[in-house]
Amino acid sequence: MMTDRRRVSGAGPHHRTDRFERPLVPSKKALVRRPSPLLADGLVTHIQREKVDSGLAGEQWEAYVEALRTHGWEVIEVEPADDCPDSVFVEDTVVMYRNVALITRPGAESRRAETAGVEEAVARLGCSVNWIWEPGTLDGGDVLKVGDTVYVGRGGRTNAAGVQQVRAAFEPLGARVVAVPVSKVLHLKSAVTALPDGTVIGHIPKIDRPSLFPGFLSVPEESGAHVVLLGGGKLLMAASAPKTAELLTDLGHDVVTVDISEFEKLEGCVTCLSVRLRELYA
């Protein structure tokens, strides 16, 4: 039974309103952030450092942005943060649930200065803004939404207080927050993401507890675990996972690939280069 005025009807997103009864409508805006000139100094935790080609990274970033545009996304550039090597990984700085933007407190101190510009960008779009506070830490890469279920990875970057604060922020809006241990990779979404039908996909050797996910499909490559839902049944994936692309195509999904090799050298994946805003005020 729905008692919260924010969850007004079961008639679908077009009829949802916020607590002031402002209507929320579907949106197709995506935040991105241009790579810093210091990109090559980005953090590396679970893999060996490899030399990053900054010129190539710039080209790959442009192609990624173009792929979003081609599939109908209005791309919004957050003010660059040139002093922050990892700022291109904009997903880690904010988590969207409906029109609520939860500004994170990244687990790596070197990334904390990244959030200011993102906060400005979401505020300008009219989002309600909320924050993770000390002692909480949270990276957006640790948050996977599947319908109204919000999985939060508790691992190297997100702590228990961060998980609790996600609960406090999103459960009153109708989310079910599920905490998931993450020890083998940088973020939860380095291990698992979800298909448009809600099936969670992941590469088993990198997942602590596959059984936590109902409807799980194992994929043959680590980077095959990363998909961005472009809408209209299309999935954006890294070119580095051809076997998974074949598997998903064979299951009737429409796969679009981009080469993000330079970002992969810094433990980045397709999800972390953008933040999609799917519901905003009319």
The catalytic site residues sit at: 187, 272
Min separation Cβ 46 and ligand CIR, Å? 9
Question: Judging by beta carbons within 10 Å of its beta carbon (0-12, 13-18, 19+), is residue 4 exposed, middle or buried?
Answer: exposed
Query: In 80-159, which residue ranges form alpha helices assigned H by DSSP?
Result: 115-124
Query: In 128-251, which residue ranges form alpha helices assigned H by DSSP?
Result: 160-170, 188-191, 242-250
CB nearer to ligand CIR: give 122 or 185: 185
38, 259 Cβ separation under 8 angstroms: no
- Can you tell me which residue has the tokens 């990363």? 226
Min separation Cβ 50 and ligand CIR, Å? 12
- Pairing mode, if any, of strands 192-194 and 200-202? antiparallel
User: At 57, phi and psi to the nearest 5?
Assistant: -60, -40
b/e sequence 74-91, b meaning 16+ C-beta within 10 Å: eebebeebeebbbbbbbb
CB nearer to ligand CIR: give 111 or 154: 111
Min separation Cβ 226 and ligand CIR, Å? 8
CB nearer to ligand CIR: give 127 or 260: 260
Q: Give the separation between CA 210 and CA 84, rounded to whole angstroms.
A: 34
CB nearer to ligand CIR: give 18 or 139: 139
Point out which residues bind ligand CIR (CB under 6 A).
Answer: 42-43, 45, 86, 89, 91-92, 108, 111, 141, 186-187, 189-190, 266-269, 272
Nearest residue to the partner ligand CIR, using Cβ: 141
Min separation Cβ 42 and ligand CIR, Å? 4
CB nearer to ligand CIR: give 18 or 267: 267
Task: Please state, in angstroms and as integers, the Cα–Cα distance from residue 5 to each residue in 99, 169, 195, following that order.
Answer: 15, 16, 30
